[in-house]
């Protein structure tokens, strides 16, 4: 018998805050500038949901360490400018958080510095105070299960009672590896078929999440 869900673990980028579209645009620009031209779909496939270290490793392998360092510096600078100027929450997130009667937290591939900025700009930061976990706290990023297991243990819940809300194939893979149920949000950049799989409910409208959690 499946255990009831007792903790909801949210990814941040693309699930709570709509940063992924900004990041996609900037990475397309940087690839063209620095010698690795990619279309939007290839960048989603390679980068979406991965840690900064994992992305930098790919760029280094392709272009070398100096170009990877330039890419990262320009990316952070441009993303911060875009976040401050145009970032919004994912539509429906505030309603979802207001409607949840379960404990919840964040476990993201982003750094704490990045999340302070994005959650601050969108006004979501107070809702997650003291319950924000970054891949910088664990040995391996997604698709390894380390981050989700760390978040669950710190919050005091067993993996089998946790539900993960993710928008990348690496995130849902990490949730499965952790022994957690996942809810794959396909309302952003990721195709629904990339999220589908065992122990995963795929959905496209964030406002539908509370009912899906209740049904599970």
Mean pLDDT of 82-92: 95
Place of tokens 């958080």: 97
Mean pLDDT of the chain: 94
Note the pLDDT of residue 52: 82
HEC profile of the chain: CCCCCCEEEECCECCCECCHHHHHHHHHHHHHHHCCCCCHHHHHHHHCCCCHHHHHHHHHHHHCHHHHHHHHHHHHHHHHHHHHHHCCECCCHHHHHHHCCCCEEEEECCCHHHHHHHHHHHCCHHHHCCCEEEHHHCCCCCCCCHHHHHHHHHHCCCHHHEEEEECCHHHHHHHHHCCCEEEEECCCCCCHHHHCCCCEEEECCHHHHHHHHHHC
Q: pLDDT value at position 48?
A: 80
pLDDT value at residue 1: 55
User: What are the residues whose beta carbons fall under 8 Å from the beta carbon of 57, sequence distance 6 or more?
Assistant: none
**Do 37 and 75 touch, CB atoms closer than 8 A?**
no
- Identify the pLDDT of residue 45: 87
- pLDDT per residue as tens digits for the range 2-37: 789 999 999 999 999 999 899 999 999 999 999 999
pTM to 2 decimal places:
0.88
Instruction: Give the pLDDT confidence score for residue 150 in this predicted structure.
Output: 98
- Of 91, 173, 104, 172, the closest CA to residue 132 belongs to 104
pLDDT tens-digit series, residues 35-72: 999 999 899 889 887 778 889 999 999 999 999 999 99
pLDDT surpasses 80 at 102: yes
Q: Which residue's entry shows tokens 């600078």?
A: 77
- Tell me, what's the pLDDT at 75? 94
State the pLDDT confidence band at 174, using cuts at 50, 70 and 90.
very high
pLDDT at 51: 77
pLDDT reported for residue 54: 87
């Amino acid at each position: 018998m499946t255990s009831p869900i007792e903790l909801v673990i949210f990814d941040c980028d693309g699930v709570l805050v709509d940063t992924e579209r900004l990041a996609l645009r900037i990475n397309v620009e940087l690839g063209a500038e620095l010698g690795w031209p990619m279309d939007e779909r290839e960048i989603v496939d390679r980068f979406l949901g991965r840690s900064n270290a994992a992305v930098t490793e790919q760029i280094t392998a392709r272009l070398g360490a100096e170009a990877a360092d330039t890419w990262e510096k320009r990316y952070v600078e441009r993303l911060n400018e875009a976040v401050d100027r145009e970032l919004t929450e994912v539509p429906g997130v505030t309603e979802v958080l207001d409607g949840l009667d379960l404990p919840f937290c964040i476990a993201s591939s982003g750094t704490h510095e990045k999340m302070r900025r994005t959650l601050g700009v969108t006004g979501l930061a107070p809702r997650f105070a003291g319950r924000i976990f970054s891949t910088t706290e664990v040995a391996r990023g997604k698709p390894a299960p380390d981050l989700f297991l760390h978040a669950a243990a710190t919050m005091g819940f067993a993996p089998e009672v946790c539900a993960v809300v993710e928008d990348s194939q690496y995130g849902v893979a990490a949730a499965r590896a952790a022994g957690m149920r996942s809810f794959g949000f396909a309302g952003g950049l990721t195709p629904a078929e990339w999220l589908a799989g065992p122990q995963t409910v795929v959905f496209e409208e964030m406002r539908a999440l509370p009912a899906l959690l209740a049904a599970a």
